[in-house]
Structure 1
C-alpha cells in the first residue's frame, strides 16, 4: 500500500463505521420512544408484543431479498439504498394512530433495517479485505456506540418534553445527512453473481451448542431493546427519561466490551469469559427483578450487555472454523439461528407479560443468561483427532 493510499483506506474505514453508527443510532432512537407510543395507543403488553413481532418479521423477510440483491448491485449501492429507505421508515411508527397501522409501519421499518444490516455487513467484509486487518469487531462496537447515543438522546428528548414525532423525524434527517457525507468514501466494487448470495442454512449437529448460545444471546438483545424502557417506566415507575437510559446502559456495556473484545479473548479463554459474564448477569438480574430496585436494575442491564457483547463474533468465528462445508455456511447457520432468536425475543416477553406480568416475563432474560453460561463450554476448540 502506498503512502497516498493510506488516507483513502482510513477514509473508507470511517465511512463504513459511520454506516454502522447510523443503523445503531436509528434503532435505539425508536426503542427509546416505545413507552410513549405504547401509552399513546393504550396498548397492552400482548398487543405491543404483536406489533414488535411485525418488525422482526419485516427484518426476516428482507434478509433473503437483500442477499439476492447483492448479486445485482454492489454492496455500496445496496447499503446506501437501504440506508435511505431505513431513514424514511424510521419516523413512521411514531406517527400512527392505531395498532394495525403501527404493525404495518414496524414491518416496513424492520424490512429496511434488516436489508441495511445485510448490505452493510457485506460492505464491511469488502472494506476489511482492503484494509488488510480485522475491523469487524470495531464496526459492531460502533453500532453499539450508535445505540448508546441514540438511547441517551431519546432520554433527553423525553425529559425535555420533545414529542416522539419531532424527535424521530429530526433523527432520521440527521442520519440521512451522515449517509450522504459518507457516500463518496465507500468503496464501490463489482456485484457478486446472484447465485452466490447468502441463503438460510441449518447448523451441523456438532455445532448445535454454538447455535443454542447465539439464539439465547440474540433473544436477550431483542428483549432488552424493546422491553427495558417499558419495564423501568411501567413496572418500576421511573420517568420516561430514566427509562430510556436502561437501553443506553445496556448498549454502553456492549460497546465497551466489543471494542476491547479482541484483546481480552487473546488473554482469557472465550468460554471462561462467557461463563463468568453471563453467570453474573443472571444472578444480578434475578436479584434486581426480585427487589425492584432501579439502581440494581440498571447494574443488571450493564452486566447483561457485557454477557452477550462478544457472543456473535466468538460464535461466528468458531462456526467458520469448524464447518465441514465452508466458513460461509457455518456463519450463515449461526446467523439464521441468531436472527430467529432476535425475532422471537420481544413477542415472547410480551406474551408472557400479558399472561403474568412484565416483571415475571423478564426472568426469562436471566434464565437465558444462565443457559449461555452453562453452554459456554461449546466455545472450547475440539481436541485434534489423532492421525490413523
Structure 2
C-alpha cells in the first residue's frame, strides 16, 4: 500500500497545478475577446488569421529557446520568469490600434505562453518524480479546466458590456497574484546542463515514434477546433447551437479524461490506454462519417476527445525522461512537433475539403486516430517493469 504524500509534497503538487490552470485561463481569456478586437480594428477574416498566426509563430520560436534555457536555469526559475512575463504580455493585444501592432503583441503572448508551457511541463516532470505517482494527466486536465473557466468568464464579461481592456487587465493581475502565491511551494531543483544539445530541439531517433503520436494528436485537436462545428452545421444540417455543442463535447471529454487520467495510468499501461481509446475513436468516427448521423457524430467527437486527451501528458513526460540531452530538450522537441501539427491541422483539412469534400477530409482524423493506436507501443519500450 502506497503511503500518502507529505503535506510538503501535496503543496508542491497543487502549486504546480495552479501554474497549469493559470496558463489555460489566460489563453482562453484572450480567445474569448477575439471578436471584440476584430470588430474594434475592423479586420477581415484573412487579416485576423494572419494576426493569430503570429501567436503560433511566437510559440514555436519560444519552445526552442525555453528548451535550451532549462539547461542553464531550474524549471522553477524559468516557469516563474515566463509566467510573470505571460501575465504582463496578456493585456497588450486588446489595447492596440492597428493590425501590425496586434501581430507583434500576439507574437509576444505566444512566445511567453509557449516558453511557459515548456518550463511548467519540465517542472511537472520533476514534481511527478518526487510524488512517485502519475500526476501529469491531471495537471493537463487543470489546464483544460482553466481554459473552460477563462472562456466562461470572458463570455460573461462580454455579455455584461465589460470592455476587453478592463477584463484582460483584471485577469492578468489576478493570475500574476496567483502565481506569486504559488511561487513559495514550487520546488527548486538545480538545472541539469545539456550534453552537446543541438541548437534546434528535434526528437532523437529513438523518440520519433513519440513525435509522430503527438503530431497526429495535436493535428486532430486543431482540426476539431476549427471544423467540427462547420461539419455539423453545413454537412449534417444541424442548427448553429447544436453545431457548437460538437466542439464542446470534444473539449469536455478531453478535460474529463485528463483529470481522471492519472488514476487510469496507475492501473493500466499507458500504451494500452492510448491504443484502446484511439482505436475506438477511429472506428466510431469512420462509421459516423459514413452514416452522417448527427447523434453518432457527437458520440464520435466525444471518443476522439477521449482518445487524444492523455497524449500530451504521457508523451511530454516520456520525452523529458528519455532525452539524452536534457528534459527541456525532450519537451521542446515534442512541443514543436505537437504545436506544428495543431497549426497544420485546420489548413490541411480545409485544403482536402476544397479538393474533395469536408466529409472526406474528416476521414483523415479517423486515420490519424488509428495511427496513434498503432504507434502507442512507443510509450512502453523504455519503461522498466515493476519489481515483484
TM-score range, shorter chain: 0.7 to 0.9
TM-score (norm 1): 0.77
How much has 1:146 moved relative to structure 2? 0.9
Q: For residue 88 of structure 1, what is the aligned residue in structure 2?
A: 88
Q: Does 1:217 align with 2:252?
A: no
Secondary structure in structure 2 of the residue aligned to 1:97 = coil
How much has 1:116 moved relative to structure 2? 0.6
Q: How does 1:29-108 map to 2 (within 5 A)?
A: 29-108=29-108
Q: How does 1:108-127 map to 2 (within 5 A)?
A: 108-127=108-127
Q: Does 1:201 align with 2:202?
A: yes
* Contact 1:209 1:375 (8 Å CA) reproduced: no
* Residues 257-279 of structure 1, C-alpha deviations (whole Å, 9 max, x = no match): 11222444545833121111244
Q: How does 1:154-173 map to 2 (within 5 A)?
A: 154-173=154-173
Q: CA 1:363–1:98 in structure 2 vs 1: closer, same or farther (change >3 Å)?
A: farther
Return the alpha-carbon distance in structure 1 between the equivalents of residues 323 and 79 of structure 2.
Answer: 31
Q: Does 1:140 align with 2:112?
A: no
Q: CA RMSD in A?
A: 4.1
Q: CA 1:191–1:267 in structure 2 vs 1: closer, same or farther (change >3 Å)?
A: closer
* Equivalent in 273, 277, 280 of residue 276 of structure 1: 280
Q: For residue 368 of structure 2, what is the aligned residue in structure 1?
A: 371
Q: CA 1:130–1:212 in structure 2 vs 1: closer, same or farther (change >3 Å)?
A: closer
Q: How does 1:219-238 map to 2 (within 5 A)?
A: 219-224=219-224
Q: Which moved more, 1:45-54 or 1:136-145?
A: 45-54
Unaligned runs of 5+ residues in structure 2 are: 382-388
Return the alpha-carbon distance in structure 2 between the equivalents of residues 40 and 237 of structure 1.
Answer: 28
Q: CA 1:103–1:66 in structure 2 vs 1: closer, same or farther (change >3 Å)?
A: same
* Contact 1:318 1:379 (8 Å CA) reproduced: no
Return the alpha-carbon distance in structure 1 between the equivalents of residues 170 and 297 of structure 2.
Answer: 31
Unaligned runs of 5+ residues in structure 1 are: none
Return the alpha-carbon distance in structure 2 between the equivalents of residues 298 and 162 of structure 1.
Answer: 34
How much has 1:184 moved relative to structure 2? 1.1
TM-score (norm 2): 0.77
* Residues 351-373 of structure 1, C-alpha deviations (whole Å, 9 max, x = no match): 759x969xx77975663244222
* Residues 6-54 of structure 1, C-alpha deviations (whole Å, 9 max, x = no match): 1111111111110011001111112222233333334343333222221
Q: For residue 10 of structure 1, what is the aligned residue in structure 2?
A: 10
Secondary structure in structure 2 of the residue aligned to 1:190 = coil
